[in-house]
């Protein structure tokens, strides 16, 4: 991960979440795969009426999210160190209203990751996906050749069992990213 200030300069996280959660009543429980610095965790916690489970494999990232939540008096974030690729989320089937998968679908086995997101979502739950664009060079992100296209993401979302998905134009909030919303 780059320095936090540099990383945060790529996103208007509040606007991105408005776009990715557009039309959704405030979700109760939310799971975030790969919380990093909490760029999206903290704004998601402001929107959620339940608990935001923020998962990351890096202990420093989990500690940073916990510290920020404590400093801001946000008590609905549960940050956990977890290798959700190897171990899953540890969450109960159908327990979440919303799953956030941001900047991760270039990892190995992206469909397995989406299947885990689908497993923990309840009927009617929503998945939001964001990824670095593959059609332009960007100041960060994985190499262009590793990045999935929107068409590839749409196919993976369908393969994972989501009922439908549509692309979200994130350029106003995140000019180097595209997004998807999918439903269970």
CA distance 171 to 100: 18
Split at pLDDT 50, 70, 90, the class of 135 is: very high
Q: How many CA atoms lie within 13 A of 43 on its CB side?
A: 16
Higher per-residue pLDDT: 120 or 21: 120
Confidence check: pLDDT of 118 > 80: yes
CA distance 89 to 166: 25
Q: Are 179 and 130 in contact (CB under 8 A)?
A: yes
The kind and range of the H/E element at 45 are helix 41-47
Task: Specify the DSSP class assigned to residue 90.
Answer: -
Average confidence (pLDDT) over 101-107 = 95
CA distance 110 to 89: 15
pTM for this predicted structure: 0.94
């Amino acid at each position: 991960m780059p320095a936090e200030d540099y990383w945060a300069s790529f996103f208007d996280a509040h606007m991105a979440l408005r776009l990715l959660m557009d039309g959704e009543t405030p979700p109760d429980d939310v799971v975030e795969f790969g919380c990093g610095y909490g760029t999206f965790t903290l704004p998601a916690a402001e929107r959620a009426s339940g608990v935001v489970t923020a998962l990351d494999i890096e202990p420093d990232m989990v500690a940073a999210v916990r510290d920020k939540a404590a400093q801001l008096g946000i008590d609905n974030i549960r940050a956990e160190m977890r290798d959700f690729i190897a171990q899953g989320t540890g969450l109960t089937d159908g327990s979440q209203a919303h799953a956030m998968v941001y900047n991760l679908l270039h990892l190995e086995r992206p469909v397995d990751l989406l299947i885990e997101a689908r497993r923990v979502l309840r009927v009617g739950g929503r998945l939001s996906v964001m990824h670095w664009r593959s059609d332009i060079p960007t100041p960060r992100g994985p190499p262009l050749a590793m990045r999935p296209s929107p068409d590839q993401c749409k196919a993976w979302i369908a393969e994972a069992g989501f009922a439908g998905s549509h692309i979200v134009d994130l350029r106003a909030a995140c000019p180097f990213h595209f997004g998807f919303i999918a439903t269970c």
